[in-house]
Amino acid sequence: MSEFQHKTTSTLAIADGDQTGFYDIPAMVAQCLGRAGLSIYRLDLGVRGDSIAYETDQGAVTLTQRMREDGVRQIAVACTSAATSGREVGQKLCFQITRALVARIGVASVFWQPTGARVLPEDFTWDAMASRPRKATDPGFRAHSRPAISAVA
């Protein structure tokens, strides 16, 4: 899998007192990928213990753990779908993985990147997220372009 195009992310704020270890998560994610019918080509468990990456036939999935300054543990889920799969595949996969984690570990809130919404775990449903407007983006911003440099005479 060499060409990735559409990236969707979510961030889970883990509830105080949740004892789920970061390395308990790979089995949960692999089960979710299997139910979705995806083939896992590569699994990288990260050397420092703060990242997990999968490469599948439909794209890449990366989970990253970090501690916020206020001591809240966060897990970021990033799904980058293959150029041939389209944006919706990545969004649905990210949603399914996030929803599976919400069901199995203590989550205080979920931030859904496509809409910019932070919701309670029980409010994180596909219908609720799909009905929200996409977050506003600056139409003048282009990630891969640079402003033209004009010559001064």
pLDDT tens, residue by residue, 21-65: 888 899 999 999 999 899 999 989 876 678 999 999 888 999 999
**Domains: count for the chain:** 1
- Residue 109 within a domain: yes
The CATH number given to whatever domain includes residue 16 is 3.30.310
- Residue 40 within a domain: yes
Six-digit token string for 11: 């961030």
Give CA torsion, residues 133, 92, 113, 69, to 10 deg. 150
- Residue 28 within a domain: yes
Six-digit token string for 20: 């789920």
Query: What tens-digit pLDDT sequence spans the chain (153 residues)?
Result: 446 678 999 999 999 989 888 888 999 999 999 998 999 999 898 766 789 999 998 889 999 999 999 999 999 999 998 777 777 888 999 999 999 999 999 999 999 999 898 999 999 998 888 877 666 443 332 333 333 333 443
- Residue 136 within a domain: no
The one-letter amino acid at 77: V
- Residue 10 within a domain: yes
Which residue segment(s) compose the domain that 40 sits in? 4-131
Six-digit token string for 131: 């009905």
Strand positions, DSSP E, the chain: 4-14, 40-44, 51-56, 59-67, 73-82, 107-112, 117-119
- Residue 137 within a domain: no
- Residue 153 within a domain: no
Q: To which residue do tokens 């299997």 refer?
A: 34
pTM over the 0.85 mark: no
88 half-sphere exposure, CB direction, 13 A CA radius: 2
| Whether 41 contacts 1, CB under 8 Å | yes
